[in-house]
Structure 1
């Protein structure tokens, strides 16, 4: 689930793949606790990404009803921050102690992301070939240029290589490959800071510096950068997540303050969402408080132990990675059929809305099938091999 000029969607990604957002140790001593606040937010953000992408297929642009439906880029920001946070909490200690070497960490992260990505990309390629063979085109065929397939397969298309088609949200995976490579260095650097309260400030200062860099070099804000420059956008958000993880490792703030941060962040995010980002004198007037609110939420929710884990939240969060990389594939099949039907048969606006709503359970169903029968079996084969090699 995705930035560029205003007319081009900015994808989001449930990038904090295994381990999940709340599968790391909490300060209360509970291990592997899932189904809490961060997993719930991850589930909601993945839903927002699908709504954002599928919104273009609705009978009417849904952002007319509420500005929140145009906030897919905030879901991206949340997942990029969460990815840094989760990896810091899950792998920070083993990185410092040497139990997990830097090459081992790189291989584990690549093995978690690349097989599923390649599987979906292959499915998309076969689908486009099949549609062309029967004399029709995929929905929005200009998105499937064959010369862009190779950069996407190697996950380098956010490193300056233009690629705005195929599995569009995968730009964030490409950017995160760089973040993963640098994570051990980031963690060792933030671990040298002895005052916990400095770490969130450091993360926000780095984010501000990258914002200035983007404005100076690209004449655009971070959230509006084209997909091919995704590394520039992802790095400061990932670093902010790493800083927040180290802050929680140092047991700061107190649980009382964490509650205040969590709900204060939620309130700030709710207050800012009705604003029209492009009607403001500078989009940064919307972006800055929104990112601050997200950082407050991640820090507050991450610091609090999960007291009442919910199984449905855990399962929803587990599906977020599969949903992220498969919903475009499901959408190509479904929306190609829907728009062909609408062009052929007169269909009332009410039925068109019902057909649009049906796309969401189909997207989740496709994600579940992919997770159950493709991604999880691949990981069940790959991970034991990695453990033995370690």
Structure 2
């Protein structure tokens, strides 16, 4: 019996927002700098690159914008199963690799900051790795590090968990919302975010990585407004024509994420208001400006490279951050003394991400596309 040649799931070609890819890379690099500086801070009140945690909220907004742009008009020929497969092929291979890297590095990260991890049995580490590779959140009883992370081998996995939740909400229900209904959802989510930011106990939007009621509240608060605001922005706004958009957006994003703490310990709500204003007002402007610009030549190549390594950087960098943080904490080493090591770690993170992209992610995704994104 002759088997018909596989026909791939093809979606119509649309103009590509290269600048948004580049901005994702800029944000990913700032996240790395934020986490390196975090190892030297006594609290978030005195940390350099102080608001780097807001990059997660920016990623959520970018994701919502791109998802709407890419899929809103394709559901007449795209099934829910197709959509889930496409998203899994795009995201899951590096999730698995990130957990493997985290497990390999785990026993080299003993620190005064967490319990003696050399006493954690190998079978438990492998079990945590295997569950983490699915992105299913781990209960606190499986926290092998003691930081109450739902993915203790690779902390940033928590935001990918919420990314999947947002994708499912979109595919199952929100894609069917009218613009008015979506605007109501965004307004309500924005009000919840503003309320938490100015009344929360920490005066910031940090959190979401633990499987408990308090942290789940933070996680969903951080997810709902930016993701669905990005969705709404893509639906109702037409990109303009902005010259030098990539450079202006990169500068604005860097200023927002690196801005010093606002208000200090005496006025925590001031910083919460800064966080809320950044997410509610500034990030939509950055995304719209990024979608409104054009790049060519070297600028286009830079955006392409930054976009390509942005996700590998984000999902593989934290095991090296754990290792660097353990080394800094065990020796009480200030940044002024060890900045060359910090720069070396930064470079190593970028190299690991690039190698992960070229040697693993791209080949694996090509195979998965040929295997699963095809209809007989």
Q: Which has the higher contact order (CA 8 A, sep 6+)?
A: 2
Deviations 1:310-350 (A, max 9, x none): 2022102210110011111233455656777x68xxx9986
The yes-or-no answer on 1:166 pairing with 2:148 is no
Aligned equivalents of 1:271, 1:355: Cα separation in 2: 23
CA 1:138 to 1:367, structure 2 compared with 1: closer, same or farther past 3 Å?
Answer: farther
Unmatched tracts of structure 1, length 5 or more: 1-23, 26-30
In the alignment, is the contact (CA less than 8 A) between 1:84 and 1:238 conserved in 2? yes
Aligned equivalents of 2:318, 2:329: Cα separation in 1: 15
- Number of positions where the alignment pairs a residue of Structure 1 with one of Structure 2: 335
1:178 corresponds to: 165
In the alignment, is the contact (CA less than 8 A) between 2:101 and 2:316 conserved in 1? no
SS in 2 for 1:310: helix
In the alignment, is the contact (CA less than 8 A) between 1:77 and 1:237 conserved in 2? yes
The Cα shift of 1:93 comes to: 1.6
2:302 corresponds to: 312
2:315 corresponds to: 325
In the alignment, is the contact (CA less than 8 A) between 2:106 and 2:319 conserved in 1? no
The structure 2 residue matched to 1:110, chosen from 88, 94, 100, is: 88
CA 1:180 to 1:64, structure 2 compared with 1: closer, same or farther past 3 Å?
Answer: closer
In the alignment, is the contact (CA less than 8 A) between 2:320 and 2:349 conserved in 1? yes
The structure 1 residue matched to 2:110, chosen from 131, 134, 137, is: 137
Aligned equivalents of 1:181, 1:294: Cα separation in 2: 23
SS in 1 for 2:374: helix
1:300 corresponds to: 289
CA 1:333 to 1:111, structure 2 compared with 1: closer, same or farther past 3 Å?
Answer: same
The yes-or-no answer on 1:369 pairing with 2:355 is yes
The Cα shift of 1:266 comes to: 3.7
The Cα shift of 1:91 comes to: 1.7
The yes-or-no answer on 1:209 pairing with 2:195 is no
Deviations 1:256-306 (A, max 9, x none): 7998xx87x949965993451545351432122211111111123223444
In the alignment, is the contact (CA less than 8 A) between 2:179 and 2:235 conserved in 1? no
SS in 2 for 1:245: helix
The Cα shift of 1:140 comes to: 5.1
Aligned equivalents of 1:333, 1:374: Cα separation in 2: 23
Q: How does 1:249-288 map to 2 (within 5 A)?
A: 251=238, 254-255=240-241, 266=252, 273-274=259-260, 276=262, 278-279=264-265, 280=267, 282=269, 283-288=271-276
In the alignment, is the contact (CA less than 8 A) between 1:159 and 1:231 conserved in 2? no
Deviations 1:183-213 (A, max 9, x none): 2332221xx338xxx97x6565133233267
In the alignment, is the contact (CA less than 8 A) between 1:158 and 1:174 conserved in 2? no
1:241 corresponds to: 230
CA RMSD of aligned residues (A): 4.1
The Cα shift of 1:240 comes to: 0.9
SS in 1 for 2:205: helix
Q: How does 1:74-153 map to 2 (within 5 A)?
A: 74-95=54-75, 98-128=76-106, 131=108, 137=110, 142=115, 146=124, 149=129, 152-153=132-133
Unmatched tracts of structure 2, length 5 or more: 1-12, 142-147, 211-215
The yes-or-no answer on 1:47 pairing with 2:25 is no
